[in-house]
Structure 1
């Protein structure tokens, strides 16, 4: 392992807080994890950085040297990032498309359309499990557009001053093994799955609470909910260890079936946000059209969902820009 800037941030945080317990709270780490990280940093640097006792943590001579250098390097690195962002921001609107996305079905298709239809433009992406994090990046000028999913009628992240528009509305489906008895039906009743474990990809928002409420209306309390990455969701579904809550555009996977839930107890809105005062606002309508076209393309790859939509016209892509 090599010394990295994140290690210097840890050392500064401990020195500024005066103790590992206070620093662990500020850094959002468990104290044992922070202690182990400090030991690794000290091993890299060849000696103790802090003398620690019941009164707190005080830098050693080596610690003082590291802190002196870190307090020069970290601000310089931050200025480098700011200068780089300013340089990118000097690009003319339409020459650059920086898109953030949370586990949605449209990002790949949107990137394809941007690169194909605007061959001279710089296209970049950022993915996170947190829609709030990406919305903040748009507000800070680090991204131009963000696509997130929001549960039911819940609002998207509102504290960043972005304009939001709905791209599409989906039901939530479940992924089950193809030999599960419910796959013989067009839809599965939520109560039929009451004895199962559950799995979902992580994210912020109220989806977990809405799922518990839907189960309560169906007459049961759900068992364990695993928050795991997409590949682990597939593994858990294939092994029969969990039913996976998913978007209906789930790619066909051997041994698995994505099923609609009767009565659509859970829905998901795909929304796009941008800074209404920023240069990207001029091209927001165009980018939304590309995203909706990408969405339609993913629907066409899922025959079960494509067949379901005509009888549920309130779901699917929106042909108009509904600003939230």
Structure 2
């Protein structure tokens, strides 16, 4: 893991709050999630930054050094971001619409909707694994709109000047090697999957791992996870029969892997559209959400396992009207 600006903000937040519990609340994180992130930051910096005890979190000698540097660095970075955001807004050509997206099935429909509602617009895109940097870019004026996502209990925090519009909440499915015995079933259980080796995204990329762990803890189990991977690499590990994983319900099966629902639907993922309230898409927000919602239904139909799940749960999905 490389040290990032957001890690410096975490360190300063803990120091200002005086405890991990209060800092987690201010950062809209869980206390275990913040503790895990702080341990990773300390591993990068080479030692404990805080002495953590019943009286709270007190900076160590190393922590005081880090805090001194962080407090000197962050104002300059904030000023740079504000200046570049203003410059980007002033220099953006009329009709240019910059879009961002996490790994979700809504981006193409968003592009089509923007081109139809704003004819002649120049649309550009960029993608991130985590929604956090995209939300930062929206708030700073570096994007006009984005496809984001979150999990129950970990909803995206509101940001000034940014509208957040949920599109749909879908179940999380199992991703299995096509030769796995459980792939022969219509659905599988999370408890059965606990017996397998797992491949998962890195815990620092977004809060997906934290959410999964919170659900696993209700079973008093945590899966054995020898493989950390994302995207194509994760799929290849599963395809090779080395591990199982989880995926969005809209994931399209490729040769060698199988997508299956989890019995009882213990895990969920929410797709969210976001746009700047003062941007060119603001007057079209509701219309865009409806158009993207219709496109989502077409994506559901293209995923056989999800299409069958939708037939069995006809009232489960609520899309913008």
Where on the TM-score scale, by shorter chain, does this alignment land: which range?
0.5 to 0.7
| Partners of 1:311 and 1:184 in 2: CA distance | 18
Deviation at 1:223, TM superposition (A): 1.0
User: Could you tell me how far apart the structure 1 residues matched to 2:84 and 2:187 are?
Assistant: 54
Structure-2 separation of matches of 1:145 and 1:251: 25
C-alpha change, 1:83 and 1:28, in structure 2 (3 Å) is farther
Matches within 5 A, 1:51-130: 83-88=87-92, 91=94, 95-115=95-115, 118-130=118-130
- Deviation per CA, 1:17-59, whole angstroms, max 9, x where unpaired? xxxxxxxxxx999579xxxxxxxxxxxxxxxxxxxxxxxxxxx
Distance 1:207 1:291 in 2: 23
| Mapped contact 1:197–1:243 kept (Cα < 8 A) | yes
- Quote how far apart the aligned CAs of 1:251 are: 1.5
- On the 8 A contact 1:191/1:215 being kept in 2, the answer is no
Tell me the number of residue pairs that the alignment of Structure 1 and Structure 2 aligns: 249
Correspondence list, 1:92-171, <5 A: 95-115=95-115, 118-171=118-171
TM-score by length of 2: 0.68
Structure 1 alignment gaps of length 5 or more? 1-26, 33-74
Alpha-carbon offset, residue 292 of structure 1: 1.5
Q: Does 1:248 align with 2:257?
A: no
Taking the aligned partners of 2:157 and 2:83, their CA distance within structure 1 comes to 28
Give the whole-Å Cα distance in 2 for the aligned partners of 1:168 and 1:261. 18
- 1:306 is matched with 307
Q: CA deviation at 1:287?
A: 2.1
Higher deviation after alignment, 239-248 or 103-112: 103-112
Residues 163 and 225 (structure 1), Cα distance of their counterparts in 2 relative to 1, 3 Å cut: farther
Name the counterpart of 2:271: 270
1:318 matched residue in structure 2: 319
Deviation of 1:210 after TM superposition, in Å, equals: 2.6
Q: Distance in 2 between matches of 1:194 and 1:244?
A: 10
Structure 1 pair 248–128 and aligned structure 2 pair: CA distance change class (3 A):
same
Asked whether the equivalents of residues 176 and 258 of structure 2 are also in contact (C-alpha less than 8 Å), the reply is yes
Q: How does 1:163-182 map to 2 (within 5 A)?
A: 163-182=163-182
CA apart distance, 1:168: 0.9
Look up the SS of the partner of 2:266 in the other structure.
Answer: coil
How far does residue 158 in structure 1 lie from its aligned partner after superposition? 2.4
Partner deviation per Cα, 1:109-162 (whole Å, 9 max, x = no partner): 322443466441111112112312111111111111121110124321324452
Equivalent runs, 1:279-294 vs 2, <5 Å: 279-294=280-295
TM-score, reference length from structure 1:
0.67
Note the residue ranges of structure 2 that are not aligned, 5 or more in a row.
1-40, 47-78
Deviation sequence 1:63-117 (CA, Å, 0-9, x none) = xxxxxxxxxxxx99x97885454121x62xxx34321111111112322443466
Q: Deviations over 1:163-203 (max 9, x none)?
A: 21110111011111122111222210111111222223457
Q: Distance in 2 between matches of 1:242 and 1:151?
A: 23
Aligned counterparts of 1:247 and 1:31: Cα–Cα separation in 2: 35
Paired with 1:126 and 1:29, the residues of 2 have a C-alpha distance of: 31
User: SS of the residue aligned with 1:186?
Assistant: coil
Alignment check: 8 A CA contact 2:104 2:147 kept:
yes
- Of the two, which has the highest radius of gyration? 1
Deviation at 1:254, TM superposition (A): 0.8
